Structure 1
Amino acid sequence: MGNGKLNLPALRLIMLAAIAGVLAGGVAVYVSGGGSGNQPGGAVAQGPAASDSCPAKAEKANTVAAAAVGDVAAMQAADPPLSLKFLAFDGPDGKPMTLAGHAGKTLLVNVWATWCAPCRAEMPELDALQAKRGGSGFEVVAINVDTGDDAKPKKFLTETGVKALDYYRDATMGVFNALKERALALGLPVTLLVDPEGCLIAAMNGPANWSGPDAARLIDVALGANP
């Protein structure tokens, strides 16, 4: 974020986060010396496990991806779009739920962990996006995948002043592994745009500036508003 330069303390933190990620299960952590740290490319590739496709959403996926510029340029069209309603995690009340429970809302789903330094850096920006745009038609669903209990992620959210985001949790890494099987998650963080019917429209691997104008325009297009 910012000017994209890393000072020595920040670099040391990222190196420690990378080591922690390896110890936690070999999950990659995305870092970069400039920009948002994500890597633009072609359409999101789907593995053979992605059988529940949403073919009618292809045009919308391409429209949304075309609006992904600047800070969110790595957001790639799902090809093909597919249903993610099956993704299972714990809701704010601690009870099991699936993404199907958010039917009727456009979602920005972000998978993160406290040991992932880029995840930690973008969490206040995701909180700001939820505070500004969250409502009956849109929600940022940030799913923490730390193993163990809730103490560490909840402490981090409190210390960083995150207030608008609801607390979603998957201590089993099931969400990440399901996305990895479908070639959607290569590391953390990973962010997905999901339409009100639970269909994946676009996805990116790596962090982004979610509180800036590029992100705002992307959400406008995803919601069907004028860019």
Structure 2
Amino acid sequence: MSHSSPRLSTAALAAIAIGLGAAVSAGWIYGNGLHYGNGEAAQNQVAIVGGECETKAKTLAELKPLARGEVAAMAIREEATPLPALSFVDTDGAQKTLSDYRGQVLLVNLWATWCAPCRAEMPALSKLQADLGGAGFSVMPINIDTGDVAKPQAFLAEIGVDNLGLHRDPSMDVFNTMKKQGLAFGLPVTLLVGADGCLMGAMNGPAEWAGADAHDLVKAAIAAQTPVPAGS
């Protein structure tokens, strides 16, 4: 099922950015205003999973110019880096980590129903999945609403998004772990993760994921890590 996505205009994105700035001073989204879980990830040294990254610096250098326009806030790394152990529950209720999805490029997006920019960009994330999702790439939103699953389920049903699944971490340890690594300052947070499970880039704040700029960046990330068949 495909979903239409109203494009976020430059003015709208600017307005959202101003709103996020106001939220910083108010302590609404950023800093100590968030309530974190009490799991080990929130209290101890963050564990790093995986070994050496296969994504080459040359690949990242080629991606950097594509982090432009509507996805200019995506900070592509100089070198790919292993990610902390990010644990969450998938749509079927099974406990998962990002390492379970190695072999795919992932666009991991942390969101909550109380985060207005998160809600605004969800249809665009759905459209990106519809356009480019497959064996080599997936959009993976991870919801961090506390409490039961009813509220995020109702929101996704209300906007007609049914192709992203519902991955959740109601303890918010995923956010706290990423904050410890300097990757998360507020919501939404989006990570571009290579097929090797290593971090290629990170963004704080919303973007127009259904637009041409996002498509160009994601297509390049997929192509850079997809083996080329012999003789082609």
TM-score between both structures, scaled by the size of structure 2:
0.77
Distance in 2 between residues matched to 1:198 and 1:205, nearest whole Å: 20
* Alignment-derived partner of residue 135 in structure 1: 134
The letter of the residue matching 1:112 is W
* Alignment-derived partner of residue 114 in structure 2: 115
**Taking structure 1 as reference, are residues 20 and 157 closer, same or farther at Cα in structure 2, changes over 3 Å only?**
farther
Aligned pairs (5 A) from 1:143-222: 143-222=142-221
Kindly state the Cα deviation for residue 79 of structure 1 after the two structures are TM-superposed.
4.3
Aligned residues: 199
* Alignment-derived partner of residue 37 in structure 2: none
**Taking structure 1 as reference, are residues 22 and 119 closer, same or farther at Cα in structure 2, changes over 3 Å only?**
closer
After superposition, the C-alpha distances for 1:154-198 in whole angstroms (9 at most, x for unaligned) are 100000111111110000111111111110101110101001110
After superposition, the C-alpha distances for 1:8-49 in whole angstroms (9 at most, x for unaligned) are xx99xx79x95794599614xxxxxxxxxxxxxxxxxxxx96
After superposition, the C-alpha distances for 1:34-73 in whole angstroms (9 at most, x for unaligned) are xxxxxxxxxxxxxx96867638533322322221110001
Secondary structure at 2:157's aligned position in 1? helix
**Taking structure 1 as reference, are residues 56 and 154 closer, same or farther at Cα in structure 2, changes over 3 Å only?**
closer
Distance in 2 between residues matched to 1:96 and 1:197, nearest whole Å: 20
* Alignment-derived partner of residue 74 in structure 1: 73
**Taking structure 1 as reference, are residues 49 and 61 closer, same or farther at Cα in structure 2, changes over 3 Å only?**
farther
After superposition, the C-alpha distances for 1:84-117 in whole angstroms (9 at most, x for unaligned) are 2621100111111100111110000000011110
Distance in 2 between residues matched to 1:224 and 1:56, nearest whole Å: 12
Secondary structure at 2:223's aligned position in 1? coil
**Taking structure 1 as reference, are residues 3 and 72 closer, same or farther at Cα in structure 2, changes over 3 Å only?**
closer
Distance in 2 between residues matched to 1:24 and 1:70, nearest whole Å: 28
The letter of the residue matching 1:75 is M
* Alignment-derived partner of residue 126 in structure 1: 125
Unpaired runs of at least 5, structure 1: 28-47
The letter of the residue matching 2:218 is I
TM-score between both structures, scaled by the size of structure 1:
0.78
- On the 8 A contact 1:112/1:190 being kept in 2, the answer is yes
User: Is 1:26 aligned to 2:52, yes or no?
Assistant: no
User: Is 1:2 aligned to 2:9, yes or no?
Assistant: yes
The letter of the residue matching 1:220 is K
Aligned pairs (5 A) from 1:53-72: 54=53, 57-72=56-71
Secondary structure at 1:157's aligned position in 2? helix
The letter of the residue matching 1:81 is A
- On the 8 A contact 1:88/1:96 being kept in 2, the answer is yes
* Alignment-derived partner of residue 32 in structure 1: none
- On the 8 A contact 1:61/1:78 being kept in 2, the answer is yes
- On the 8 A contact 2:84/2:177 being kept in 1, the answer is no
Moved beyond 3 Å, runs of 4+ = 17-25, 48-57
- On the 8 A contact 1:21/1:116 being kept in 2, the answer is no
